[in-house]
Structure 1
């Protein structure tokens, strides 16, 4: 009587690891793992395949981890998908400028270079190498903003259980190339710019920005009820810088809310500007939108930052001072001119709405000089 062949051994199950065995039909290793039951009561026992037992066990381990954490990392969910979801749903309530900046950074740098990578396979080394490759072409500030967009996009995916961890948080932003430093107009250059701006729609904007040092976001949000050109009694003409074009309408910080005396040239420019705006209202007729904005379009709507920059560049070109200048450098020029005239650092910090002199020193270090006094009368003396 011949001996019977031993029955093939059943694949051995390892607790929490599933089973791994050779699949003759597919010609590779197959793994299965029990992950509980579906809401309908059906057993969840997904299958994975691989060329080696180690590969299959790693896949089973990942499935078990996903089941444990509740994270379902899709093999087809890419970095581009992650960024797209973030741009569509993760920026609700943010200022339009913030949304636009995130979209530009994502579409120009993240999606073209990292977009095809599977999000679950993205590593900290991948992000590190990518940021290092951008360091030679982008300024440090832009590099930090770019890193922040990727980090926030993956964070958004984490909250949606699309990925287990945020590898962008494990990376330090490298130093980029040195950006274009802000400049300040000399007194001679400032006078040339004012002369070139005279007669343009931006004249009062330039005068106000240069002579009281408001931020561009504060100037564009200024309303006539906050401008007092002929206040009663001994109160000098002044402006209440209490708003900005930020999403919540508030200024950058609490210390940024300030009331500033107006030099005579600013009062004169604003009076002329108010009269010109009244002419705009009559011409626009029913198309006029009464937003009470000091600086507005010909139909009363808010000025666009890009349009202000374009108009200011035209003024600079007409002035003949040369170089590339932006409206925010009028504020830098205010700090420089005040400091040159001897205004104390503490007073300058209050005038420009900084929470401390440390901010003033850090941002405007090149514009500061040894100091002694303060006040709007300084600008009156300079530009009378």
Structure 2
């Protein structure tokens, strides 16, 4: 049956086939009904693998290379081996449910969400191109997967041990700044000297302390995670000293590199001035932890931020104040949700104030 024409006028023909004449006629009637109802006739042989690979090739335009690579790996390891050979028009919600249920025994909930999203977007793209009439993935929810390792925070003793180590390296300075300012690792990697003021303006009214502008990150668009994440924060004295030493260290590296130096003005950079990638930071972070006598295998760089929140909370700072410092878009609600294990469970401001006004009488 002719179901349409290509842009150059060539007929588009669909056939109904089966083991018997009756089965072939039934397939042809399906095509007739689809055409009469105004639906495009899906290709019989188009597979899930073809849909996924088409989405990986054309559906990720504008995404960061790291994001594209992550999605490709997840598709190659979890989607294509299990469902790739299935014809897309024959894929059912039961197939997707069974696939996700099987994966839930080995994968975290977050990874399950990612692989479902890959399949959902691949089928959606195929649907928009008349390869399939409906997206059955929409009918399937993500099951709970294996519990991932919860984020942790350094204790005061561990933080003091970490800060007590020699910080005369780029990664030592990186750890100090991450722990004492709460900046995200992607924000520290993008920090430039133009956004760092180590002297401030004490004569201004009000005085301006030494500070750094957290206005950029290594994300694809160069912006911070959210609009509220753009913030200017005062620098603790320890950070000022460490950053002055880091600037002198970078000057020495620039002289040694000579013509090989890449002038990106980065605060934390390689020996030739190029930016640090996530793997560089993880390795350097673990070296600093090992030198401090902390088991490096149990920690990740992002937990410097968790430790910052925990230490401030233990010192009595309110959730609202902490939320402003770490740049949470949803304010204190996000801070409590993400860092709820580090936030003080008891709000003791009122009791502390009243104890000061009405101290307990000695009996």
Question: Under TM normalisation by the shorter chain, which class is it?
Answer: 0.7 to 0.9
Check 1:54–1:343 CA distance in 2 against 1; reply closer, same or farther (3 A cut): farther
Alignment-derived partner of residue 6 in structure 1: none
Describe the SS at the equivalent of 2:341: helix
1:289-344 per-position Cα deviation (integer Å, ceiling 9, x unaligned): 11111111111111101111122122222322225100000000000000000000
Q: Distance in 2 between matches of 1:85 and 1:38?
A: 20
Q: 1:57-90: CA deviations, max 9, x gaps?
A: 4422443366465645333322222111111111
Q: Counterpart in 2 of 1:16?
A: none
Correspondence 1:354 to 2:328? yes
- Please say if 1:199 is aligned against 2:168: yes
The equivalences for 1:41-80 within 5 A come to 46-52=14-20, 55-64=23-32, 67=35, 71-80=40-49
2:338 aligns to what? 363
Q: Deviations over 1:210-244 (max 9, x none)?
A: 00101111111111111111123331000111111
**2:299 counterpart (322, 325, 335):** 325
Q: Any idea what the Cα deviations from partners look like across 1:121-146, whole Å, max 9, x if unmatched?
A: 21111111100001111111111112
Write the distance in 2 (CA, Å) between the matches of 1:336 and 1:349. Answer: 12
Map 1:235-314 to 2 at 5 A: 235-314=208-287
SS of 1:310's equivalent in the other structure is helix
Instruction: Note closer, same or farther for the CA distance 1:65–1:192 as it changes in structure 2 (3 Å cut).
Output: farther
Counterparts in 2 of 1:101-140, with a 5 A limit?
Answer: 101-140=70-109
Asked if structure 2 preserves the Cα contact closer than 8 Å seen for 1:344 and 1:372, the reply is: no
Q: Which residue of 2 aligns with 1:4?
A: none
1:141 aligns with 2:110: yes
Structure 1 unaligned spans of 5+: 1-32, 374-384
The change in CA–CA distance for 1:216 and 1:71 in structure 2 (over 3 A counts) is farther
Name the CA distance, whole Å, in 2 between partners of 1:150 and 1:47. 28
CA RMSD of aligned residues (A): 2.2
Change (3 A) 1:78 1:238: same
**Given the two structures, how large is their TM-score scaled by the length of structure 2?**
0.87
Aligned residues of 1:73 and 1:162 also touching (Cα < 8 A) = yes
Instruction: Tell me, yes or no, if the aligned pair for 1:197 and 1:206 is still in contact at 8 Å.
Output: no
CA distance in 1, matches of 2:74, 2:10: 45
Distance 1:328 1:44 in 2: 55
Q: Which has the larger radius of gyration?
A: 1
Number of aligned residue pairs = 341
Q: Is the CA contact 1:240–1:260 (under 8 Å) kept in the aligned structure 2?
A: yes
Does the CA-based 8 Å contact 2:106-2:146 persist in structure 1? Answer: yes
User: 2: distance between equivalents of 1:119 and 1:41?
Assistant: 27
- Range 263-272 or range 319-328, more displaced: 319-328
Please, which of 288, 296, 308 is the counterpart of residue 334 of structure 1?
308
Residue 360 of structure 2 corresponds to none
Flag the 1:297–1:121 CA change in 2: closer, same or farther, 3 A: same
2:319 is aligned, of 345, 348, 368, to 345
Unaligned runs of 5+ in 2: 350-363
In the alignment, is the contact (CA less than 8 A) between 1:136 and 1:177 conserved in 2?
yes
